[in-house]
Every structure is written in C-alpha cells, then in structure tokens.
Structure 1
Amino acid sequence: MLIIPSVTAIVSIFVALMFIRKIYAFKASSPKISEVGKTIEEGADAYLYRQFKTIAITLPFLFGILVLLFNWKVAITSVIGVLTSLLSGFIGMKVATKANSRTADLAKKGIGEAFWSAVSGGAVVGLLITSFSLLAIIILYLIFKSVEPLIGFGFGASLAALFGQVGGGIFTKSADIGADLVGKIEKDIPEDDPRNAAVIADLVGDNVGDCAGRGSELFQTFSSDIVTGMIIASLYIDKYGIKILFFPLILQSIGIIASIFGIFLLKLLRKKYPPEKLFNIGLLVTTLINFAATYGLVKVFIDDISIWLAIIIGVLIVIGASFITKYYAGKGGKPVAKIADSSKRGPALNILTGIAYGLKSPVVSILMIMIALWVSYIISGNSSLSIISLNIGTDLLIAYIMTADTFGPITDNAAGIAEMTSSPKEIVESLSSLDSVGNTMKAITKAYAMASGTVSAFVIFATFFNMVKINSLDVSTPFELVFLFIGAALPLLISSLVIQSTSNSALSVVDEVRRQFREIKGLIEGRAKPDYKRCVDIATKNALREMVIPGLISILPPFILGVIFGLKALGPLLIGAVLMSALLGPFFNDSGTAFDNAKKLIEEESQLKGTPQHKAAVVGDTVGDPFKDVAGPSLLIFMKLLGMATLVIVPLLLK
C-alpha cells in the first residue's frame, strides 16, 4: 500500500528537479538585472543562515527535553519534522530568488514566458513541501512500525512553521512598512525606487515571508493532517483491515498527482488565456481530477459514498473560502471600493472602514466550515472517518495552491527588479499586471490556509478526545470554563506580541532609511547609492529575536497545565484557543488584504498618486501589513502547534 505514495513522492521530486535545472541554467541578458537579483539572493541567504543558526542552537535542547519527558522516538521524529520543513523551505526559497531575475528578464519575450517562469519557480515550492512530507512520514512509519511516534513529526513541522512564518513575517513587514512610510509618504518617491534603502529588504522579505514562511505553514498543515488522519484511521483497522491506515497517505498522493497535471496545463494554455483566468482553469481541472480519482479510491478502500462526499465537501470548503476572501478583500468587491472611497476623508476613516468589514468576514467562513463538518458527520452515520476525509479533502489542492502563492512573491520581485533597473515601460507594466494577479493568488492562499487550518485544528482536538477516551466536557463547572477562557485568551496574546514586534522592527527600519537620506549626500537626487545591506541586517536581527516568545507561548501551556492539572484541562484549553484563532485569523487576513487592495485600487489611477487620498490609503496599508502577513498566519500556525503539543504530551499523562 505504501508503494503508491512512495512513487508519487519520487515523481513529484523529479518534476521539481526538472524545474530547478531549467531555472539554474538560465543566464540573464542584462547585467543590471543579474546584479539586483544577486543582491536579493544574498539578503535572503543571510536571513536564512541566521534563522538556521538560531534553530540549530535550540534544537539540541528540544531533543533533550523530549527524550527526558517522553521517549527517544518522539524526540527523533520531532527533530526530523523541523529539519524536513526547513529543507523544503530553503530549497524552495533558493529557487524562487533565482526565478525572480529570470522572470524579469524573460518579460522581454512576452508576458506568457514571464508567467511560466514564475509558475515554474512556484511549482518547486508546491511540489517539494508535499513530496518531502509524504516521503518522510513513509520512512518514519517503516522504521518505527507505529503511528504514535509520527505525532513528533507533526509537532516538529508545526514548530518550524511558527519560526518560519513569524520570523519571516516580521522581517518582510518591517521592511515593507519602513520603505512605504519614508518613501511614499515622506519623500514622495515611487514604490521599489532604488534610492530607498529599505527596498531590497522589502524584496528579500517577499521571499522569506511569502515563500519560505508560507511554505512551512502549508508543510505543517499537510503533515499534521496525515498524522492525525492515520491515528483516527487506526481505530478502523478491525473493520477495514490494515489498508485503512494508509488511506490518508494515498489520498494526499492523489492531490499531488492532480496538481502536477494542473501545473503543466498552465504551460500548455499560457498563450491562450490571461493569467488569472488561466489559474482558475488549472484549479478547475485539478479539482475535477481529484474528484474522479478519490471516488475510485474510496470505492476500493471503504465502498462508502458518504466518505467520498466528505472529501468533496472538504475541497469545496477551501474553494468557498477563496470566494469569501475575494468579496471582502478583492479589488472587485464592495468592501475594498468603500475603503478606497473613505480614504478621501483621511486615514482614520480608511482604517475604521477596513476593520468594520474585516470583522464581518469570519462570520460567513466559520458558518460554512461548521455546517460542512456537521453535514459530513451526519451523512456518514457519525463516523470519524468522514472528518479525516473532509480534512484531507481540504489539502488535495495544496501543491497547486502553493504554486500559485509563490508565483506572487516571484512576480512582485520581478516587477521590483524591472523598476530598479529602469526597464522599458511596457515590461514594467506587464510585470506589474502579473504582480497584481500574484497578489490575488496570495490572498486566496491565505483564505485556503485558514479554512484548511481550522478544519485541521478541529481534527486535532477530535484526535485528542479519541486518544484520552473523553466523550464530553462538563462546562457547568468552573474548572473546565477556566481553561476554556485561558485558551481563548492565548490567540489575543500571540496577536499582540507579533504585531508589537513588527512595529518595533519597523521603527528601526524607518530610522535607518531616514538616516541614510539625511547623511548620504546626493541620495535623494539619485547620484549616490543607499546601503541596502544595513536595512536587511536590521530586519533580520529583529525578526529572529522577536520570534522566540510567541514560540514559547505556543508550546508551553499544554505541558505546564497538563502536568499540573491533568488531561481534563487540555480539552477546554484547546477548544478555546482554536475557536478564537479561527475567528481572529480571517479577520486579520481579510482586513489586511483589503487595506492593501484599496491602496492598489487608488494607485491604478495615476492622477491620484501622491494625493491625500493615496497617502491615507498608504497609512491603512501599513496598518494592514502586520495583520495579513504576521498576525493572521501566526494564529493559523499557533492553533495547530498548540494542538500537536497537546497530542505529544497525552501519552505521558495517560501513564
């Protein structure tokens, strides 16, 4: 049974290697493009080197604690989870930084070539995070012959995701805010202007935050869903035989193969359709392949149509979430138009309007997810298999979605490189149009990740209740209510910490950009070059320092409260944390993206650039930046990391 997922992982890695070979063989025709691309690559390398160094220092301590508290198997799988996530993110980001300059250069040959170049770079990330996870879990299962040690792998992947997303998010948004506040508002210079000392840090941030950070986030989702799926599936071995244990692995394999077809379809049709429509066509085809293939799999494994319907519902949840985000945060929706219009009256009304619409967005998405879970459970006759099937159904598009997501930072960087190298106007405009599509894809990915992550978190605490044999909670007593409220308070604390960290780091970047404009003679006139590396260095140091406390808050509560108060404290804690995170996360994601798109909507009318309306929208965008790229993603990771930490401690408390 493990042959299918093993072959799938190997084929996926082979396809990714084909893309890598093509990207690395390319030589840019413009020395200027090569120079800027190399500077971005060096900045990204510097950040990752320091991040790896920080994690390498903490990893032996983590290993020692896990060995002492639990067993060496969980300790080893946890470390492997961290390292596998970091490796897939590192390779993907290295390729993405190479694809940036390649995309900028190929834009001379037409938008179709630039489009496929960015898709190729994105596909490397999408295929590696899924295939590395699949292969690692298969190998670990073959070694330990048990599902329980795999919980450590999910925990390690979650820990790496928190460091990657929080650190990367703080880096990219502090640089982005610093570049915008000084450049656009104070100095009235365009975005990605080479005179701005923070512009390279901003472009580097797109890679470490949107590429490596988001990759580690979806690696976590993909991995933890397989692990929890196998744990729950093990309860049905008596009914369906040992093959049911590998059902989650084969389901995920189908998703990877379908995504490969969808990716190559983009290449075949790249000259026939505009980019956004092309991504939608690819998504439709990938979805239909998944529907057909999973029907056959369910027929062979379980022969229960309700389980297949649960998978379909899972896929539809994430597609539905993307439509909700498109309405509340897309440029074509009413909320973004209202935010842009309110900017005429100043930044205060811009921010109030954005927050008001942002608070509405979680209501629709959470209702959709809860109804989907309830329907799946009812139609299957109250079977837990339907819940894990729905959960993995939300993952089946991950490789394709991550490809589209990484397309965003690659085209953003390519447009920035074109602007910085004074490329012809038509090339800058074509890359800007791809960047606009990339922004839409990034927004859809955030919605996808949040919807999928919410279902994953629900499955994690369903797994917890199955492991501890607790069927109900008595919320009529203060004991359970206390931990329910503590759990609900933790996401607020995490949000506060990461937003404050971004603000602190942005202050340092703003001060440095101002200093360089003040002290470097001829900089504002364009006769001198800024010190780009200084801003990269400041953002890197701050990001790595500030990611430690949110990490500790995410993993320590289950261990401390579990040891002191026992298993009964952990269920309410988990429910409260997941509930609040599932509501706050979409609020941060959608309101932040809406602020960003309101600014872009105004900038599309060139006569409005530099006006008070535009400057008010830039202020709103800087408020929204840590919302959508730091707080929202951090909460998604937090609720799953807290869940995996809880599952890790359960065997100890049961003893």
Structure 2
Amino acid sequence: MSWQLLAAEGGPTLTGGDRGIVVVVAVIALAALAVGYVLLKEVLAAGQGTDKMQDIAKAVQEGAGAYLKRQRNTLAIFGIIVFIVLFFLPADGVGERIGRSLFFVVGAVFSFGIGYLGMWLATQANLRVAAAAREEGGRETAMRVAFRTGGVVGMSTVGLGLFGAAIVVLVYAGDAPKVLEGFGFGAALIAMFMRVGGGIFTKAADVGADLVGKVEQGIPEDDPRNAATIADNVGDNVGDCAGMAADLFESYAVTLVAALILGSTAFGAQGLLFPLIVPALGAITAVAGVYLTRAKVGESGLTSINKAFYASALLSAVLCTAAAFIFLPSSFAELDGPAQSDIGGNPAVIATIAVIIGIVLAGVILWLTGYFTGTEYKPVKDVGSSSLTGAATVILSGISVGFESAVYTAVVIGAAVYGAFLLSGTLFVALFAVALAGTGLLTTVGVIVAMDTFGPVSDNAQGIAEMSGDVEGEGAAILTELDAVGNTTKAITKGIAIATAVLAATALFGSYISAIRDAFADAANASADQLSQLTNAILFANDDPDAQGFIALVFSPNVLVGIGLGAAVVFMFSGLAVNAVSRAAGAVVYEVRRQFHDNPGIMEGTVRPEYGRVVDMVTRDSLRELITPGLLAVLAPIAVGFGLGTGPLAGYLAGAIACGTLMAVFLANSGGAWDNAKKLVEDGNHGGKGSDAHAATVIGDTVGDPFKDTAGPAINPLIKVMNLVSLLIAPAIVTLSIGENENDAVRVVIAIVAVLIIVAAVVVSKRRGTAIAENPAEAVANGAV
C-alpha cells in the first residue's frame, strides 16, 4: 500500500450553513446541561435518612470540599505558568496565541469544574442512596438515585466538552484546531493532577484504614472507631468521583481536539464539523441510556446497567450512520477541502465504519473488563480460591489476571486502531478515521461517566450505613449488592477510559506529524508540493514519500532510543504514584495506631476518633506528591524533543502509548480482580469474613488499591498530556533545528534544564518523608508502633 501525505494550505472556511450546524451542536450541548440539571434536582429531592447518617455525610462533605479547595490553589500556580508559556510558543499570529492561552484556561476550568461537580454531588447522593435502601422498594430507588447522580456528571461532561469545542469552531473557524490545542491541554493537565492527587488521597486513606482496622484490629471496613474511615470515604469522592470525572472530561475534550485537527486537514470544512455532530448525537443517546437504567426484580443491577449501555450504543450507531450519509459526500472530489480528486474511497462510508468501530470497541471493552473483574466469572473466582493458600498466591494470581487481560485488551484496541487506519491509503485520512473511532467511543461517554460515579456513590452509601448503624437487614443487603455492582462498573469505566486514551493519543500522534509538516514548510519556505518529501526527509530520515520512509522511522537508532524513553517514563510515573501511596498510607497507619494506643476508649466506643487529623494529613501528603509526576509528564517530552529531535520524539510518543496501554490495563484489572475476590470471600465463600482466606484477600486488595485507583487511571491523562506537549512544542523544535533561526545551543540548553528539573524532582521525592512521621523511631516513641 502506498501511503501519501495529504498536503493542505491553510485552514478551511465555514459557510453560513456550516455555522448553523455548529450552533445546533452548541444548542444540543446546552440541552445536555439542562437535562443534567433536571437529574440533579431529582437526586437532591430524595430523602436524607437519620440525623446520625446526615452527621457522617456532613463530615465527608466538609473533608472533600477542603481537599479540592486546597488542590485548586495548588493547581492555579501551574495554570498561570503554563498560560504564560503557551502565549510565547510559535503560532500564526497574536490572535491564535491569545486564543490558545485563553482556551487553555477554559479547558482547565471546565475540567476542574466537572471534577468538583462529581465530588460535590457524590457526597450529597451517597447519603440519599443509603436512606433510600431503608425504604419500601428501596433497591429500585437506591439504584435510580445512584445512577442518576452519575447521569448528572455524565451530561455535564458531554455538555461542557461539546459546548467548548463548538464555541472555538464558531469563533475561529479554520484556525480552530490551533486554539483547540490549548483547550485540550488545559483539560488534560488538570485532569492528570486531579487523577494523581485524588488517587493518592483515596488509596492512602483506604490502605491505611484497612491495614490497621481490618488486619490489626479485626474491625469492619467502615467501623466508626477507625480514625481513617472518614478520610477513606472522602477519598472515594476526590479520587473516584472528582478524578475520574475530570479524566473522562479531558478524554472527551482531547479526542475532539484531535479529530478536529485531523478532520480539517483530511476532509476540509466537513472534517471540522462532523466530529462535532457525532458526539452531539451521543449526547442525545446518553439521555436515553440514563433513563433506561432501572433495577428490575430478579435481575442483577449490573445486567440492567449493561442493557441500557448497549441500547444507547446501538442507537448511537444508527444515528451516526444516518448523519454520515446525510452530511458527507460520496467522493473526496466533492469535499470543501483542498483538491483531493485523486483520493479513492467514499468519505461517508469511511466515516460511518470508523465511528462504528469506536462504538463496538466500547462494547467489547465493557464485556472484556467485566469478565476479568466480575465476581461471577472465572478469573476472580480463581483469585478468590487462591486465598485458601495464603496472601502470596492471591497476589500472584491477581498479577496473572492483570497481565493476561492487558494482552487481550491491547489486541482489541490495536485491532480497532488498525482497522480504522486501513480505511484509507492517505495518511491523514487514515489518521482522521482513527480519530473518528474515538468520537464514536465518545457517544457512550455520558453513560460511562454515570457508570463510574455509580461505584463510589454506592460504596460511600454502604459506608454511611455501616458507620451509622441505622441501615439493617434488607437495606444493608441492598447496599452490599450495589457496592459489588459499583466495583465492576468502576473497573469497566477504567477499561473504556484506557481505550479512549489510546485512540486520542494515536490521533494526537497524527496531529503531531501534521504540526511538524507545517513547521518544516514554514522554516524551509517549502511549497505545498514539497511538503510530503520534506516531512519524510526530516521526520523519517528518508526522502521516499512511500512506505519506506515510515520503515526508516522504526529502524533509526535515535528513534528506537525515543521509544525506550517513552516506555521508561510510563514505568517511572507508575512507580512514583505507587510509592506516593505507600508513603502516605504509612502515615495513616502510624496515626491510626497512635490514636488506638493513646485513647483506649476509641476501641470501646466511648471516645470519638480524631477524623479531621487524618483527613488533613492525607490532604497535605497527596497534594505534595503531585509535583514530581506533573513535572515528569510535562518536561520529559521537552527534554527528548529539544535534545534528540522530532523523530526520536515521535518514537517517544509511540513507546509511551504502547507501554501505557499495557501498563494501565494490567494495573486496573489486577486491582479490580483483587478487590472483587475480597468481596467474594466476604459474601461467605472460602470461610467468609474473619477467616485466613479473608485476611489473604484483604492484603491482595491493599496491594491492588494503588494499582487500580492511582497509578493505572493516571496513565490515561499522562499519555495525552505528553502528546499535547509534543504537539505544542513541535514548531519550536523545528524552528530551532533548520532554517534561518537554527540554534543548536539553545535546543541543548532547554533539554538539559528540563532533565535537571526532572532529576531534582525525583531525588526530592525519593528522599521525602510523610506528614506524620519523618522516621520510624519517632513513631515508636509516640506509641504508633
């Protein structure tokens, strides 16, 4: 197959009719926000239970709010610095620079806002779900409240992401892709910080609470005598709700950004509009998915949720197919873009198949992740059975599940990417097809966010019920069932988030090539006819515009170095995240032990633990741990790009995407399998609660906590942040590499400074102690050990 680079001059222009379509998309986005508001009112109208339940919920609400307020202040510093840097990066005119910087702020504010909404509403809803379980017909009511809580966040994610992109296209038209880079980068950067910080918080509190409460003291998970219990419940909201909501919003935004950048190159004006139409239709089908989800007598809650998901996905496929054939022409010659009459294929057919590939991928990932993490399937049952021989075999079997599932998931995602890529023999059309597959997956995001939020809301509802002691019998059984369902839905959404990240990153990789091509043309004063050969000559070390140029990319030693560095950064990032949880959890263990030691009345139930001390401690530790992973994500591509060049940076991105996919799935599914194996034993299997098997699965779950809720999910925004940084700095790298502004000394200095900052941050992180005990001797002296 002969791959051609598509040459384009300038951005597409929009007609009055085109602008009308964008206005309709913006109206649909606002309608999605209105539906979210209706769902919000419904959730808040539900009963709030007893005074004791409300007091516990209030403590969780205050802790979560305090954490996000401090996180906001921390992130504002990063935001100001990036805003200034973005303004001075190369762009076509001051208008683009201003727009890119301003919409960086918009993307960041939207991302944080979605995360805050997810946290705030979850802390309101968990109380109402617990209260609903006590009522007659409680199962249906509790599930409806929990899922519609997620529906509010899902509709807000869809609405804000779509509205932001539509406004940029309306204002900037053909120049929108450059401005959208800022919008996507703002969303991705804030989401990564919220994912890492929230993940460290939630798992430090969870691990610390489990180690002292379950393992050492033999008390239940949400026993009010455990000083870390409130912090654990706060963590569910700032990690699983705020972090995941921001993560899925940035996936939505970044996928749209990549699709719009590539679409304007491949399809002209239609390519700038169709990626907006697809998720707009997804917003409509998301409403159907949320309202279709309801608990039925005799049917598993997970089955009900899955049915609604598949129904909405099928409706999306039908509507998007119709939209493709109505909006797109049957030949490339009829497109509004540059002269493309020599390109074969039917744009409508290519777009339809690409979108359907993305929708089908979401369904397959849902089934595949559910199989490897669900309590009713063999993998989790095997992990549960291994608990009979101790914690070591539990850990080994969980790692095995993670490794195996990563292979299958990577193959499925790879097949989707490659299938979309094969839809055209022209590089940018093929890459646009990959991006369209991502937008197809986006049509399910509204329901996916609802599924994800359902998990921590159900988990917290059970915690409130157990701490208050006011929900017993059938009500407690209902909450236990919903918690188990939520465990699986959280794992499923992590799998789909990973697939979205890979599709977005792959599309952004294509956008990176486009940015390099344009930068080369500007630096070398090349004509449109010279673009293909020039790109291959500099990026791929080969002047052959055919496939041989791309083969040279893989076999070039400097590019292989870049691939290795990209994979290494994923490992380093994961290690930093897990290590951060370990340090912060150690602080929690010391503090909870100290409180039990100093106040015997806590265990007797006559003295109230110091919940606030643990919340404050974990807040400080988790926010402090944000710095090193954040600097690594932003500065590593800068060091590689300016130090080694554009080709090695392309290899770096490829290595990060490939390794990140496998690592994220491995971490998420190992953790999910361990968690549900523990649930399996707690349901009475293999000796039930209090048995040696239970203790073994608790240890496995403790190991899996930072895997599935900190390091694994944080890889999703990581690979997109690195791709967006590369996309933004590409013109500057090229400018300093060739042409009249060539300056190798400046490039080397930039690379060295970036490396030195990374090294210093890692060294400081490794030497860092914890907020409660800088050394074990102090902890012993205080009675903590």
TM-score range, shorter chain: over 0.9
Contact 1:443 1:593 in 2 (8 A): yes
Contact 2:188 2:720 in 1 (8 A): yes
Deviation at 1:631, TM superposition (A): 1.1
Note if 1:427 corresponds to 2:475: yes
Show the counterpart of 2:203.
173
Distance in 1, Cα, partners of 2:555 & 2:59: 60
Show the counterpart of 2:282.
255
Contact 1:362 1:587 in 2 (8 A): yes
SS at match of 2:370: helix
Contact 2:358 2:440 in 1 (8 A): yes
Distance in 1, Cα, partners of 2:277 & 2:314: 17
Choose which of 482, 504, 513 in structure 2 pairs with 1:456. 504
Of 60-69 and 584-593, the range deviating more from structure 2:
60-69
Show the counterpart of 2:409.
365
Contact 1:329 1:597 in 2 (8 A): yes
Distance in 1, Cα, partners of 2:48 & 2:586: 36
Note if 1:489 corresponds to 2:568: yes
Choose which of 645, 650, 654 in structure 1 pairs with 2:730. 650
Contact 2:23 2:166 in 1 (8 A): no
Give the paired residue count: 651
Show the counterpart of 1:567.
646
Distance in 1, Cα, partners of 2:23 & 2:504: 26
Show the counterpart of 1:525.
604
SS at match of 1:450: helix
RMSD: 1.7
SS at match of 1:331: coil
| Moved segments of 4+, more than 6 Å | none
Show the counterpart of 2:395.
351
Contact 2:228 2:592 in 1 (8 A): yes
CA offsets 1:24-60 (integer angstroms, 9 cap, x no match):
3445241111111111100110110110011123322
Of 171-180 and 418-427, the range deviating more from structure 2:
418-427
Distance in 1, Cα, partners of 2:44 & 2:683: 35
Deviation at 1:136, TM superposition (A): 1.5
Once the two structures are superposed, the pairs formed by residues 174-573 of structure 1 within 5 Å of their partners are 174-238=204-268, 242-267=269-294, 273-302=299-328, 303=330, 304-381=348-425, 383-384=429-430, 385-422=432-469, 423-469=471-517, 470=535, 472=550, 473-573=552-652
Deviation at 1:647, TM superposition (A): 1.0
Distance in 1, Cα, partners of 2:560 & 2:350: 35
Show the counterpart of 1:19.
39
Tell me which amino acid in the other structure corresponds to 2:172: F
Of 27-36 and 215-224, the range deviating more from structure 2:
27-36
Of 204-213 and 463-472, the range deviating more from structure 2:
463-472
Deviation at 1:566, TM superposition (A): 3.0
Distance in 1, Cα, partners of 2:205 & 2:596: 16
SS at match of 1:522: helix
Distance in 1, Cα, partners of 2:259 & 2:81: 29
Deviation at 1:280, TM superposition (A): 1.6
Distance in 2, Cα, partners of 1:564 & 1:233: 31
Pair 476,440 (structure 1): closer, same or farther in 2 beyond 3 Å: closer
Distance in 2, Cα, partners of 1:294 & 1:136: 21
Whose radius of gyration is greater, 1 or 2?
A: 2
Distance in 2, Cα, partners of 1:275 & 1:608: 23
Pair 216,14 (structure 1): closer, same or farther in 2 beyond 3 Å: same
Deviation at 1:106, TM superposition (A): 1.5
Contact 1:581 1:639 in 2 (8 A): yes
Show the counterpart of 1:55.
75
Distance in 1, Cα, partners of 2:473 & 2:412: 44
Contact 1:307 1:380 in 2 (8 A): no
Show the counterpart of 2:64.
44
Show the counterpart of 1:611.
691
Distance in 1, Cα, partners of 2:703 & 2:578: 10
Tell me which amino acid in the other structure corresponds to 2:502: T
SS at match of 2:553: coil
Contact 2:181 2:728 in 1 (8 A): yes
Tell me which amino acid in the other structure corresponds to 1:405: D
Distance in 2, Cα, partners of 1:642 & 1:410: 32
Deviation at 1:353, TM superposition (A): 1.6
Contact 1:558 1:649 in 2 (8 A): no
Distance in 1, Cα, partners of 2:491 & 2:162: 26
Contact 1:258 1:286 in 2 (8 A): yes
Tell me which amino acid in the other structure corresponds to 1:353: S
Deviation at 1:20, TM superposition (A): 2.1
Show the counterpart of 1:105.
131
Distance in 2, Cα, partners of 1:559 & 1:379: 33
CA offsets 1:339-372 (integer angstroms, 9 cap, x no match):
2222222211211121122111111111122222
Of 8-17 and 363-372, the range deviating more from structure 2:
363-372
Distance in 2, Cα, partners of 1:236 & 1:254: 22
Tell me which amino acid in the other structure corresponds to 2:185: F
Contact 2:255 2:503 in 1 (8 A): no
Tell me which amino acid in the other structure corresponds to 1:144: Y
TM-score in terms of structure 2 length: 0.81
Deviation at 1:526, TM superposition (A): 1.1
Pair 277,334 (structure 1): closer, same or farther in 2 beyond 3 Å: closer
Distance in 2, Cα, partners of 1:271 & 1:341: 30
SS at match of 2:319: helix
Tell me which amino acid in the other structure corresponds to 2:692: P
Show the counterpart of 2:180.
150
Q: Which runs of 5+ in 1 are unaligned?
A: none
Note if 1:80 corresponds to 2:160: no
Distance in 2, Cα, partners of 1:275 & 1:27: 22
Tell me which amino acid in the other structure corresponds to 2:700: G
Contact 1:562 1:569 in 2 (8 A): yes
Note if 1:631 corresponds to 2:692: no
Distance in 2, Cα, partners of 1:434 & 1:285: 21
CA offsets 1:582-636 (integer angstroms, 9 cap, x no match):
1111110111111111111111107521111111111111001101111111111
Tell me which amino acid in the other structure corresponds to 2:381: A
Of 547-556 and 140-149, the range deviating more from structure 2:
140-149
CA offsets 1:270-297 (integer angstroms, 9 cap, x no match):
5685422211221121012101100111
Show the counterpart of 1:118.
146
Distance in 2, Cα, partners of 1:219 & 1:612: 42
Contact 2:228 2:588 in 1 (8 A): yes
Show the counterpart of 1:131.
159
SS at match of 2:220: coil
Contact 1:4 1:250 in 2 (8 A): no
Deviation at 1:74, TM superposition (A): 2.3
Of 73-82 and 619-628, the range deviating more from structure 2:
73-82
Distance in 2, Cα, partners of 1:270 & 1:84: 36
Q: Which runs of 5+ in 2 are unaligned?
A: 1-20, 91-96, 331-347, 518-534, 537-549, 736-785
Contact 1:89 1:129 in 2 (8 A): no
Contact 2:380 2:673 in 1 (8 A): yes
Of 638-647 and 12-21, the range deviating more from structure 2:
12-21
